[in-house]
């Protein structure tokens, strides 16, 4: 069989631990036999990040900007334990944070739904995609512990030194204090990424904040969304037959629970952090969640939503058998290859991606799956496979689907 040719390279960001092990098997079994893979390879494994003073992460993000599409393996975000384990020069920052800062993107997370893994919420028939704003708010806050009585104020000093003040609170005793910010430019990027993604995937877009309580901060998010929608997207949405709708965050939560799914839910940074874990667990498993970072100028970075599955990796190192779910990582590859095909006009790449995803789902639906899914499936007669055999079974299904 002839391999599919590519035009533009795919930016490939390799990673750590168990997902790095899966990465190689996925390539060997599911990608390289079928595609003449053109990729620009960046090793984001922690050892190489340390050796390059993390320059490799920056280079990979710039390559993503240059070529448009990247696929990323899960990576370790170092903490004190990792400093020792890997003998690190520095506690390097989260690669995802670095990449996000360079691409200025929004993260979209969607569950991969399959027969036999039923959502815990009975009304959900279609996936719900969470779009998380990835800048500012409580993630870039300044905090203070107040130990004695005193007045707390918000002070803004303009470039001429003129001060504007608002009293936050007159403390009579101990308490806590927090200051945070966001930028119109970042909120605008967030809004455009969401509107574009809704058009791209032909799904309705919901956005919610607490603007009734936060009359300036959250209200600004609401206003920017509405302004950009009215000016730039209203007609495009009408043409495609989708809608944009704003509501209060508490109303949104109630509606999500009663909905059928099949829409994008845009969330402020903190809401998106919390709600994406809720949505992924309610749909069944963290191992079945894909994630794509979309920049306002149309760059894409695909990855699995889960981490490097450290516990399984330590078993693997001891020579024990593992049953790690590779579905989200495979879908990161198919997502990236499909997008590459779309941008370069290579329909074979898009068909390959469709067929590979179908092969993954059919394999699971036929009862062959990894342990995490076997524990929650409603199917009977299930065969639990190890990490490698699961990928090999997918290859068999894929071959059986060939013309
Ligand atoms: P994790 O890799 O998400 O795994 C947590 C647990 O969830 C696993 O121990 C496993 O449960 C289950 N799980 C997750 N993915 C699975 C899969 N594909 N197949 C089967 N089970 C799966 O989180 P972690 O182990 O706490 O974090 C490990 C490292 O990942 C950390 O260094 C963290 O910095 C990094 N991380 C990276 C990213 C990223 O690159 N995007 C995201 C999150 C975390 P059982 O052990 O019960 O089987
Ligand atoms: Mg979280």
Cα 16 to averaged position of ligand 1 atoms, centre (Å): 11
- Residues 6 or more apart in contact with residue 205 via CB below 8 angstroms: 194, 195, 198, 242, 243, 244, 245, 263, 264, 266
The span from the CA of 131 to the CA of 343, in Å, is 22
Q: Answer yes or no: are the C-beta atoms of 248 and 211 closer than 8 Å.
A: yes
Cα 275 to averaged position of ligand 1 atoms, centre (Å): 18
Which ranges of the chain have pLDDT less than 50?
none
CA dihedral 10, 186, 95, 90 (to 10 degrees): 150
The span from the CA of 159 to the CA of 376, in Å, is 59
Strands (E), 134-182: 142-146, 150-157, 163-171, 175-179
Backbone angles phi, psi at 179, to 5 degrees: -125, 140
The span from the CA of 207 to the CA of 205, in Å, is 7
The angle subtended at Cα 57 by Cα 55 and Cα 62, nearest 5°, is: 95
CA atoms within 13 A on the CB side of 217: 12
The residue whose CA has the least distance to atom 31 of ligand 1 is: 76
Residue 380 is inside which H or E element, if any?
A: none
> Candidates 308, 360, 374: which one to mutate for ligand 1, based on the most atoms within 8 Å of Cβ?
308
- Residues 6 or more apart in contact with residue 162 via CB below 8 angstroms: none
The 10s digit of each residue's pLDDT in 165-215 is 999 999 999 999 999 999 999 999 999 999 999 998 999 999 999 999 999
The CA distances from residue 291 to 112, 219, 247, 400, in Å, are: 10, 28, 24, 28
The 10s digit of each residue's pLDDT in 84-129 is 999 999 999 999 989 988 888 789 999 999 999 989 999 999 999 9
Nearest Cα to Cα of residue 124 among 260, 286, 216, 313: 260
Nearest Cα to Cα of residue 201 among 278, 261, 285: 261
Q: Is the CB of 19 under 6 A from ligand 1?
A: no
Cα 94 to averaged position of ligand 2 atoms, centre (Å): 14
Q: Answer yes or no: are the C-beta atoms of 57 and 99 closer than 8 Å.
A: yes
For residue 157, what are its two tokens? 């000093």
Q: What 8-state DSSP symbol labels residue 117?
A: B
Residue with tokens 């370069």: 344
Q: pTM of the predicted model, to two decimals? A: 0.89
Q: Answer yes or no: are the C-beta atoms of 224 and 187 closer than 8 Å.
A: yes
Burial of 327 (0-12, 13-18, 19+ CB in 10 A): buried
The span from the CA of 315 to the CA of 318, in Å, is 5
Q: Is the CB of 306 under 6 A from ligand 1?
A: yes
Q: Is the CB of 277 under 6 A from ligand 1?
A: no
Nearest ligand to the C-alpha of residue 292? 1
The span from the CA of 192 to the CA of 52, in Å, is 34
pLDDT at 403: 57
pLDDT at 280: 87
* β-strand partners of 107: 132, 293
């Amino acid at each position: 069989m002839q391999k599919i040719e590519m035009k533009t390279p795919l930016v490939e960001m390799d990673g750590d631990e168990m997902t790095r092990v899966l990465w190689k098997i996925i390539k060997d079994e599911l990608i390289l036999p079928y595609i003449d893979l053109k990729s620009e390879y960046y090793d984001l494994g922690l050892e190489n990040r340390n050796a390059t003073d993390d320059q490799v992460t920056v280079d990979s993000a710039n390559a993503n900007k240059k070529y448009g599409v990247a696929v990323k393996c899960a990576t370790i975000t170092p903490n004190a334990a990792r400093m020792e384990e890997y003998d690190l020069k520095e506690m390097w920052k989260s690669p995802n944070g670095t990449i996000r800062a360079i691409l200025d993107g929004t993260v979209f997370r969607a569950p991969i739904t399959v027969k036999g893994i039923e959502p815990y919420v009975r009304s959900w028939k279609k996936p719900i995609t969470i779009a998380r704003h990835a800048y500012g708010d409580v993630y870039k806050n300044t905090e203070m512990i107040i130990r004695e009585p005193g007045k707390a104020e918000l002070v803004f000093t303009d470039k001429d030194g003129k001060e504007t003040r608002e009293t936050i609170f007159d403390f009579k005793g101990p308490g806590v204090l927090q200051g945070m910010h966001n930028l119109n430019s970042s909120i605008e990027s967030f809004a455009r990424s969401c509107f574009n993604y809704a058009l791209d995937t032909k799904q309705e877009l919901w956005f919610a904040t607490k603007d009734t309580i936060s009359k300036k901060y959250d209200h600004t998010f609401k206003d920017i969304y509405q302004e950009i929608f009215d000016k730039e997207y209203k007609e495009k949405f009408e043409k495609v037959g989708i809608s944009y709708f704003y509501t209060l965050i508490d109303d949104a939560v109630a509606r999500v629970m009663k909905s059928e799914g099949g829409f994008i839910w845009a969330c402020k940074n903190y809401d998106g952090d919390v709600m994406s874990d809720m949505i992924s667990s309610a749909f069944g498993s963290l191992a079945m969640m894909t994630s794509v970072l979309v920049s306002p100028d149309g760059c894409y970075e695909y990855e699995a939503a889960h981490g490097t599955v450290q516990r399984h990796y330590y078993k693997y190192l001891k020579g024990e058998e593992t049953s790690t779910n590779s579905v989200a990582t495979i879908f990161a590859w198919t997502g990236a290859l499909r997008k590459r095909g779309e941008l370069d006009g290579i329909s074979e790449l898009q068909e390959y991606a469709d067929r590979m995803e179908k092969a993954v789902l059919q394999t699971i639906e036929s009862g062959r799956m990894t342990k995490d899914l076997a524990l929650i499936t409603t199917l009977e007669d299930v065969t639990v496979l190890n990490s490698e055999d699961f990928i090999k079974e997918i290859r068999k299904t894929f071959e059986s689907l060939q013309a």
